[in-house]
Structures are given as structure tokens and as C-alpha cells.
Structure 1
Amino acid sequence: MIQVFFAATQYAAATVTAALRAGLFGPRAAHRRVLVVSNVAAVPEVTTPWDRMPGSERLLTEFDAVHSWNACIAPHHPAGWSPRAQDAPLWERALRLAWDLGDAPVEIACESIQASPSRAVAEIFADSPLHVYADGLMSYGPTRNRIPQDMHSRIVRVLHLDLVPGLRPMLLSEYGVAAEAVPTGAVVDVLARIGQDGARTLADVLAAPGRPTAVLLGQYLSAIDLITGEEEAELHARMVRAAARAGHDSVLFKPHPSAPAGYGAPLEAAAAALGVRLTVLHEPVLAETVFAHLKPRLVIGCFSTALLTAAALYGIPVARVGTDLLLDRVTPYENSNRVPLTLIDAALPDAEHDAVGTPLDLDSLAQRVAPLLSAVGYCMQSRKHRGLRDEVAAWLGAHLAEHARYFKKRRLTSLGLPGGSPVRAAALRRNPVVRRVVRRIRAARP
């Protein structure tokens, strides 16, 4: 059996490497393992592929061969290309030849099956079993796009990080796909190995006395049109003010790798006004490497997955800033960012108003957030999760008042759930769509 693993980021590769080392893909001796690296940056030609980043060589040893997906499909962009249906067999033949797969059976491990490049890979290797692995909080939400029957029937499982112990992923559950957690110990070990080079970089950057005691996480939310660039810059400044409020006078800001350099000006102004020593980390170092090396007393962010990796993998206190703004802005309601945003807002203290600095109680977290996430997930994709309706309606009837910010009245109305507006008969009679349907029914009567 040949196993082909697709990874678009170093963090994704770390996740799948941890799964390999934990034995979740069987013994090494029984398989030939091929890694396919993709670069889905907007302009891949001017960015460094993750397999050339510091520490990546410690991941590549798990594989017998490494290939570039970008090179295989050039000049197409990995995020926007998939083969025409009639060309898929030709592409499989070409890739088998290019990657020396021969005629051996192949199984695929890939990231989000809802979009390319994973969707394209699943279409090309149309007879291969699929393992979907998810390294972020979106795994706790519903599947965004419909998966064809001939594809979802081949999905063996969803591998995920156990960032909220006991919370079951909703991703692909409507198709009966089982979820399996990658052991946390294996994940921490892999991150520690690839972080050795990054730790040396951090030691140079933070060589001066007075090392930062708080870490601030940037996400570059304006790139996905959730907020404007000016609002995101102000969001980062709010993080600095929140850290100062919590008693920290030295902070490290880790920007998103794609964020423009200009975002640092408001941040520096806010730090200077408060007398806070600010370090901006421009080096390509994983947030988890920062957590392990710096051992901060607090991590502040908006709704980054790294907030929960800090809490679950390293036991660091975490807090949120700006989730109220994002809950109001994220559209449409089906937007996949809604579940990570809801989870972080419900689970973490507000750094601008609440007491912070205490480690998150992970033991009770799943019990607290599971009903809420089920309700939000059902409202996002009600047709895919019809079996949840009665449970969600009962929960909303009892708890909507304290969780109203996570639901839109219009959505509750359209689904006929508690909290929606009653539909009046007079309004229905005036609705032009209803009137047309009634006229057609009457016209069809004998």
C-alpha cells in the first residue's frame, strides 16, 4: 500500500506527522509514504514553501519521497484548480508516473475535503480511500459544501487535534464519518522537534533582558473580508491595551505571516502610550514554538486556533479580544469561521473586561460548549443535520436569552426555532411568492 499525504502548511504537516508517529497509519515498514507539498499563498512564486522553512527537515524524514503539487499542476493555482471530470483518469495516470506509484493501491490523507487542492486530489484518485485531517477549530463545525456520494463514501475518518477534550467534531458527521483524535503527546513532541531551530531564532530576537510575559496573536482578518484593515489595526492595539490592563509591561506580537508591515504602526503607538515594551516577531516561527520557548503568562488573540493550542498543549492562560465585533460581522451565517469564533467567545474570558491569567478549565469545557456549538452548527447547515432539530429547539427554548449573540433572529425565524418572529397569516397572503404558488395550485386543479 502506498500512502500519499498532502500538506499546505508546516502546522498541517506537523499534525499528520504526529498521527504517523502515533501509529494511526499503520507500521512504517508496511507502507511506502509520499508527501506532496502545496503552497496556497495568493502569489506562491514569491513565498517560501513550508518544506523549506526552518525545522521542516525534521518532518520530512517520515516520508520516502517529497513532491511539489504546485510544480505538478503549474501554471494553475492550487487553491483554484480542479480537473475536468473527463480528465481525471489522465491526471491519475500522469501523477502515478511522475511520483513513481506504479499500479499499486493508494490511500490519500489530505486537509479540508471541501476545497482544492484536497478536493482535486480526491477527484483524481477516484478509487482511493480518503483520510481527512483537520488541524484547526473548524473541525468542530459543520461541513461547508456538499460532498458527492462517490467521494464521501470513501472517507475513512476525520483526524483532529483534541483541543477541547471530549468535544466531538461535527465535520463530515452527516455522512457517518467517524472522528479520531491525534494523541496530544505526539503533537507536542513533533512541535518541539520542529521548534528547535525556531527556538534558536527566538533566543537571538529576545536576547535582551525583560523578556515578554504576554503574547499577542494576529490573524489578518481583513484578508478574508471580515473587517477592514483599519479595524484590524485597532484590534491589535486593543490587545496591547488589554495586556497592559492585566499587568504586563513587556509583550510580543506575532503577526499573521501574510499581514502587511504597515499594521505595526498603531500597535507601536498603543504600546508607547502605555509604556509597554513591544517586540514584533517577523521571523517565520510557529506560535507553538513561541509558547514552548517563551512560556508566557498570558496569550491574547481574537479567535485563532493557537489560543486553544496554548491552553490545551502548554497550559498557558488565554483570553480573547474583539470577538463581539466579529460575531456581528461574519457573514453569511454559514461562514465556517462562525464556529471557531463562537467557541473562543464562549470559552475564553474577555481580556478587556474579565479577570485573566488563570489556566482554562479544559475538563468541563466540552460540557459547557457542546450544546451551543450543536445549535449554531444546526442553524448553519440545518438540512444536513435534521436529526438535531428537536434537541436544538429544546436547548434554545431554555438557553437562548443568555446566548442570543450567537444567533440571528432572521435565521431562527426561517427555521421556525425559538427566538424567531411568528409568521403571520396576513403577511403570507401578501407575499408575492406565496401568491404565485397558490395561483399555480389553483390552475392545476381539475
Structure 2
Amino acid sequence: MTQVFYSSTLFGAMTLAAAIDDGRFGPRAGRRLLLVSNNAAIPEITPGVDETEGFAAIRSRFDDVRSWNEIVAPLHPSDWKARQAELPMLGRLLRSDLGLGDGPAELIVESIAVPPSRTLAALIRDCPITVYSDGLMSYGPTRDPLPSEIAGRITRLLHLDLVPGLAPLLLREAGVAPQAVPDAAFAEVIGAIHAPADLEGEAVILGQYLSALGILTGDEESAMHTAMLRAVAARGHTTVLFKPHPAAGRRHARRMRAAAADLGVDLRVAGETVPAEVCVKALRPRLVVGCFSTALITSHRLFGAQVATMGCETVLERLAPYENSNRVPATIIDATLPRLAEDGTITDPPPADLPGLVEAVGYCMQSEQHPELREATARYLAEHGAQPRYFKNRRLAALGLADAPPPCRAGRPSALGRLRRALAR
């Protein structure tokens, strides 16, 4: 029978390859089909997973590769989901198109709470589901409640052991057991991907796509990258590699070049589709800087690189709503990694009870899914206080874990009050 794998990123496909090599999907007795999806805002101008150079190194793990974008075109894969009444018909059509017969032996997906994974789980029925996580989001709670028909089929959560000793919150409410994919298996996959010959840099700056997510404006994200560049220059690094996020394009790199010229820094730019881990493995840089990229953790764990974060406090302040699934990754990075200042100094974060902090933040994000964490959250807050960078007072008050904030002072009406008066006028 067929095992159907789904991935939207090269990092995710690398995680699948490592899990396959580690024997997590058994011997290769049947067909292995990989569905790839390009979830970029404009997928037509962004390379997909199977169009990257690094994909060739892991292609042999799969018998067939199909594009989910082509199947659902002209609709965007992150937006489309079948209506309930259409599920049986569309499910049959999909099984026929993919050559699945009566159905696959197993469905393996990422980000189960949202399309395309949630859409695939609804269409491809009557088989067990394995969820794999390709980053730090496995340590945060499930983004949205899952229907019982999907949740009841999930048998395990595969994740990289990025933070040893920290148990994932993802799918815990459904009783799903997490299984860590060994570092060695993932490192071997990285080792099989050839780095471009022109890579160069004493320090590496990791770009993300915070403006595309609405966390920062484009100018603010560019300013953050420029601040990182000034910081590494202040530490004496004269050749710097900027690694853009695959979904961000090169607009940030163009804005950084002028700043690099003023600082006397030779700025190199890696291809968007080259994994950050491949760059770090090839260069062995003296410093890797980013905001809250998972690559900060993998660079340190797998290759022993010195890493530092910059801008996490701003991101934690801007994330909205509080349930934003980037909150736990940003919290982990901020609480555990050294912090880089614009003058080049690096300071360690205060000591943290990371398991307690992550579970407390996770409870505040999704209290209804994790009522069992309420007492532990109250104890954590009593011992450590309501640290403003991680907890919002209004959120705590809504959960009965803090006093309600004082009302707006007279003469300074709230935004809602101003809106009401404007509408009345």
C-alpha cells in the first residue's frame, strides 16, 4: 500500500527524510508518495520544494512526487478547503488521481490544524495519520481544535529534539505521543546536500518573513536586519552572509547592501532555497544571528556554532492575537539564547525554568485545550512573576490569574470609546 507524505518546505522534507532513514516508517515495502505544496503568497514566482537544488539529495526516499498546487489550481493551497458535503466526492477523485486505490496505509502531514494538511486529512480518510513538526512550533499548543474524525486518527507526533528535556505541547490534548527524530539522522541528511561553491562569511545573519506575517512592517524588518549587521560589524566581522527566508525573497538583501557599504562590510547573499543549516555546516561561522529562527537552535546543536538573538522582545510584544503560534518559538529563543546588542555586546538571558515557562505560556494561549496546566501556570506566575515580555496582563486577568487592569483615566478615553463617539457624531 501507499504511504502519502506531505511537505511545504525543504526543511520539512529533510525532516521526513531523516525520519525515513531512522526507520520511523518501516521497511520500504510499498509505494511512497510525496505531495509538495508551495504556500508562498505568490507561489508562481517562488521556487517550490521539489524545485530547489537541495531536494535532489532526498528525492530517492520517495517513489513519486506530486504538486498539491497543481491539483487545486487556480486556488491557493493555504486557503482552499472542501465543503463538508463535497468531502466524499472529492476524496474519491483525489484517491483516483493519486492512484491510491481504496486508500493509503498512512498519511504523514505537517501543521495539521490548518490547510493544506487539514484539508488532506479530511479528504484522505480511513487511515492513520502521523504528524511531524519541522521546527520549534512542536513545543507550542495546537493552533485550532481538531474535529474528532481527524484527531482520533493521529497516532504519533514526530519532531526534531531541538530542546532536550522539553516535551511538546502540540497535540497533547489529543493524547498523541511525541517521538523525537535523532540529531544524527537529521545531520546526515544535511551532510548530503551540497553547499554552493561561492558561500563566504565569518558571520551569518538569518532572515525571516516577519513583515509577510504582519508581525513587523517591511521597514521595521529591514531595520532589524540592519541592526544585526551593525552588531556583527561592531564585533569585527568584515564578511557577512545574509540567508534570506525562502518565502521572503531578496528585497531585504537589497536594502542591506547600502548599510553594508557604509560599514565597510562585504555582504554576501545566499540563495533563498539553500537551507540555513547547509550554509552553517559549510562555513563554520564565528557567529550566527537571527530573531527566533529554528536555524539558531540547529546551528548550535548540530554544528556547535555561537548563536545570538536580536529583536525577540519586539516580536513578543507585537504578536497578535496572544494565541499566535509563533509565540512559543519566540519565547524559547528569547529565554534560552544569548542576546546581541547593536554595539556588538552579547549577554546571556536570565536563568529560566523553561519547561514551566513554556507550559504557562501554552496554557495562556489555549487554556480550554489544556485545563490541566492551570495550577502549574499559577505556581509559575507566583514564583517568577508575570514577566511582561511573555505574559499580557489583560490575558492573565481574563483567565483569572491576575487582577483586571485599571480602567482608562478620565480625559483619556479608550480606543473603543473614541470610536463610539465618532460613530455617534
Shared fold per TM-score greater than 0.5? yes
Q: Match for 2:275: what amino acid?
A: L
**Aligned-partner Cα distance in 2 for 1:304–1:341:** 8
**Aligned-partner Cα distance in 1 for 2:134–2:34:** 17
| 2:202 counterpart residue number | 213
Q: Match for 1:220: what amino acid?
A: Y
| 1:394 counterpart residue number | 379
1:245 Cα deviation from its structure 2 partner: 2.8
**Aligned-partner Cα distance in 1 for 2:403–2:204:** 41
Aligned pairs for 1:354-393 (under 5 A) are 356=346, 368-393=353-378
2:396 paired residue among 412, 420, 443? 412
Aligned pairs for 1:8-407 (under 5 A) are 8-29=8-29, 31-103=30-102, 105-193=104-192, 195-196=193-194, 199=195, 201=196, 203=197, 205-206=198-199, 211-282=200-271, 284-352=273-341, 356=346, 368-400=353-385, 403-407=387-391
1:288 Cα deviation from its structure 2 partner: 0.9
Deviations 1:114-154 (A, max 9, x none): 11110011101221111000101111111110101111011
Q: Match for 1:94: what amino acid?
A: L
**Aligned-partner Cα distance in 1 for 2:243–2:398:** 41
Cα distance change of structure 1 residues 334 and 297 upon mapping to structure 2, 3 Å threshold: same
1:404 Cα deviation from its structure 2 partner: 3.2
**Aligned-partner Cα distance in 1 for 2:229–2:103:** 55
Q: Given that residues 36 and 65 in structure 2 are in contact (C-alpha distance below 8 angstroms), is that contact kept between their aligned partners in structure 1?
A: yes
Which runs of no fewer than 5 residues in structure 2 stay unpaired?
408-425
Q: TM-score, normalised by structure 2?
A: 0.90
**Aligned-partner Cα distance in 2 for 1:354–1:172:** 40
1:281 Cα deviation from its structure 2 partner: 2.1
**Aligned-partner Cα distance in 1 for 2:272–2:372:** 47
Deviations 1:264-321 (A, max 9, x none): 3542233233322221224531111101101111100001111111112211111011
Deviations 1:202-239 (A, max 9, x none): x2x24xxxx42110011121111111111111100110
Which runs of no fewer than 5 residues in structure 1 stay unpaired?
425-446
Aligned-partner SS, 1:339? helix
Deviations 1:313-365 (A, max 9, x none): 2111110111121121111111111111111111111111785499x9xxxx9
Deviations 1:15-61 (A, max 9, x none): 011101100011113x3211111111222223322112113122121
1:391 Cα deviation from its structure 2 partner: 1.0
**Aligned-partner Cα distance in 2 for 1:72–1:269:** 42
Q: Given that residues 94 and 123 in structure 2 are in contact (C-alpha distance below 8 angstroms), is that contact kept between their aligned partners in structure 1?
A: no
Q: Match for 1:407: what amino acid?
A: F
Q: Given that residues 205 and 242 in structure 2 are in contact (C-alpha distance below 8 angstroms), is that contact kept between their aligned partners in structure 1?
A: yes
Q: Match for 1:76: what amino acid?
A: L
Aligned-partner SS, 2:388? helix
**Aligned-partner Cα distance in 1 for 2:77–2:383:** 46
How many matched pairs?
405
1:96 Cα deviation from its structure 2 partner: 2.1
Cα distance change of structure 1 residues 349 and 101 upon mapping to structure 2, 3 Å threshold: same
Aligned-partner SS, 2:58? helix
Q: Match for 1:190: what amino acid?
A: V
Deviations 1:154-213 (A, max 9, x none): 1011111111112111001011111111111111111221x21xx1x2x2x24xxxx421
Aligned-partner SS, 2:368? helix
Aligned-partner SS, 1:344? helix
Q: Identity rate of aligned residues, in percent? A: 50
Pick the structure with more helix per residue: 1
Give the aligned CA root-mean-square deviation in angstroms: 2.1
Q: Given that residues 232 and 344 in structure 2 are in contact (C-alpha distance below 8 angstroms), is that contact kept between their aligned partners in structure 1?
A: no
**Aligned-partner Cα distance in 2 for 1:54–1:43:** 20
**Aligned-partner Cα distance in 1 for 2:359–2:243:** 32
* Structure having the higher Rg: 1
Q: TM-score, normalised by structure 1?
A: 0.86
Deviations 1:53-78 (A, max 9, x none): 11312212111222221222222221
Cα distance change of structure 1 residues 374 and 357 upon mapping to structure 2, 3 Å threshold: closer
1:104 Cα deviation from its structure 2 partner: 5.2
1:4 aligns with 2:23: no
